[in-house]
Chain A
């Protein structure tokens, strides 16, 4: 598969979304929580609490929607500032109760529009980056589809970042890159190659820890082993004192592009 094939696969509407993963992993135990307590409830972000085996977990996902109606309602997974602020509110709540945080990333990017700018899209992402870095509770991010730039990293300042084999994570969309580089967005497949955005590329660059085989909807065995893998990671990180965990998280990012 070429890099652009991966991009196409990551964008496929047939792909499982955050809600599918949450249902498969948490089942009946999931309770959705709403709102940022400032402005509103952004449906591009689905969030709540639930049990993963015997561990209480806060789970937050960027949700694209599973059919046309849902996709409209979810704004195709492009969150507004209130979405990122809802996520942060619930992450702070998780820290208070020393619950681990699981995030699912699937977005073409943070929404760009008048309202998003007026309500501080840049500020909301910046605040998440800063606060997540210091959270004294374990954070794990799983990329299940598209990881579009600032809108993706705003939920991915984590102890570990995992990616599905057909997920991508990039600083800019291949189309955007091609139109800057060659003034021709149809050269997106070439740009996708250059950007090094596949799970394999990112693993080689030391940006992610694990590549996962992608489950289908009825692949219960795969979901069981995914659940086990997540639980084991949480158990390991719950044993580390919060301050120490935040320091390790900072060093995880600190080493990327370190000059000395």
Chain B
């Protein structure tokens, strides 16, 4: 055996099949391609930038916990009702399988997490929906968790911040999902009548029964740049009216122009904006 081959230091990153040693090997997960501008970005850089593309400001999608981490003070989030799980109440085909798959994929039990946290030292209730769980669809458990979060905020006289992302009411629970629109709206109304602040943060995409209920009921409605916000999704509309839709139709910016969104906020300034709004409403003054 040749001595030099033997002592050649082994490079961890070296691809054993790749004999061309001049080509550096980088594992896939170190890079992510921006779906908007196509720039290759270092994953660590994206993370540091709250998952916003440094080149074109595209906001990558976040899951429910990433959203909470983004605005909650460190280690202050206390989750409520975390063991609630959906059941196949109306015996809908493939629903059990779909639930199992979603649980595995998202590592969550439902399409929403709720709890309390501190934001810049101010106590608040927080609700965060999850696009990784059945596209954030609203079933009975989703609706019930959100209702309970509002009821808790009303009892404790706390403000509430809700991050929405949803494909709408969950078809697999039939009419019972539709009823959650009324139920959550009732809970929002009670919180509102108690003189408490509700801020909605609409994220990509917020559609259907969620848009037509609590998403549009905030005292202040914020949205992430370019987020799709709709009652009927663009494809459904195109199929119905057989017409091409205007440019930027149903984006956050479009809704702001039409008067349905108060402010489009870059994710990197969101925590500051929320804190400021809480302070203006006299929270955190004790």
In contact, A126 and B212 (Cβ under 8 angstroms): yes
A110 to B209, CA, bound (A): 11
- Whose C-beta in chain A lies nearest to the C-beta of B178? A171
Partner of A125, one of B92, B230, B231: B231
Chain A CB within 8 A of B176 CB: yes
Name the A residues within 8 Å of B214 (CB-CB): 126
Q: Name, among B148, B208, B212, B243, the residue most crowded by chain A CB atoms within 10 Å (CB to CB).
A: B212
A150 to B192, CA, bound (A): 22
Given contact pairs A122-B211, A177-B171, A257-B143, A131 touches B186 in the complex (Cβ within 8 A): no
Q: Which residues of B contact A (CB under 8 A)?
A: 81, 84, 90, 92-94, 139-141, 143-145, 147-148, 169-171, 173-183, 185-186, 188-190, 192-193, 208-209, 211-217, 229-232, 236-237, 240-241, 243, 245-246, 249-250, 258-260
Chain B CB within 8 A of A167 CB: no
Name the B residues within 8 Å of A129 (CB-CB): 181-182, 185-186, 212-213
Q: Which of A98-138 contact B (CB under 8 A)?
A: 110, 112-114, 116-123, 125-127, 129-131, 133-134
In contact, B174 and A119 (Cβ under 8 angstroms): no
Given contact pairs A120-B260, A207-B176, A133 touches B186 in the complex (Cβ within 8 A): yes
Chain B CB within 8 A of A231 CB: no
A123 to B259, CA, bound (A): 11
In contact, B216 and A127 (Cβ under 8 angstroms): yes
Count A-side interface residues using an 8 Å CB cutoff: 48
24 contacts between A and B (CB under 8 A): A112-B241, A120-B260, A121-B231, A122-B231, A126-B185, A126-B213, A126-B215, A130-B186, A130-B188, A130-B189, A134-B186, A134-B190, A149-B169, A150-B208, A154-B212, A194-B93, A195-B90, A249-B186, A250-B186, A253-B182, A253-B186, A254-B147, A257-B139, A259-B148
Q: A171-B171, A259-B140 are in contact. List 15 more A-B contacts (CB 8 A).
A: A114-B237, A114-B243, A116-B231, A120-B216, A120-B260, A121-B212, A150-B208, A153-B182, A171-B169, A172-B171, A194-B174, A195-B90, A205-B174, A253-B183, A257-B173
Partner of B176, one of A117, A133, A150, A205: A205
Partner of B144, one of A113, A116, A207, A259: A259
Partner of B216, one of A114, A122, A149: A122
Name the B residues within 8 Å of A177 (CB-CB): 171
Chain B CB within 8 A of A234 CB: no
* Shortest beta-carbon distance from B152 to chain A in Å: 13
A118 to B178, CA, bound (A): 23
Chain B CB within 8 A of A256 CB: yes
In contact, A254 and B186 (Cβ under 8 angstroms): yes
A181 to B98, CA, bound (A): 11
**A/B pair count, beta carbons within 8 Å:** 172
Given contact pairs A254-B183, A257-B141, A122 touches B258 in the complex (Cβ within 8 A): no
Given contact pairs A207-B176, A259-B81, A149 touches B186 in the complex (Cβ within 8 A): no
In contact, B179 and A149 (Cβ under 8 angstroms): no
A153 to B180, CA, bound (A): 11
A123 to B256, CA, bound (A): 13
Name the B residues within 8 Å of A153 (CB-CB): 178-179, 181-182
In contact, B249 and A117 (Cβ under 8 angstroms): yes
Given contact pairs A133-B185, A253-B182, A117 touches B174 in the complex (Cβ within 8 A): no
* Shortest beta-carbon distance from B53 to chain A in Å: 27
Partner of B250, one of A117, A131, A172, A194: A117
In contact, B185 and A257 (Cβ under 8 angstroms): no
In contact, B183 and A170 (Cβ under 8 angstroms): no
- Whose C-beta in chain B lies nearest to the C-beta of A126? B216
Q: Name, among A197, A249, A257, the residue most crowded by chain B CB atoms within 10 Å (CB to CB).
A: A257
In contact, B178 and A133 (Cβ under 8 angstroms): no
Name the B residues within 8 Å of A118 (CB-CB): 258
Name the B residues within 8 Å of A180 (CB-CB): 171
- Whose C-beta in chain B lies nearest to the C-beta of A249? B186
In contact, B185 and A150 (Cβ under 8 angstroms): no
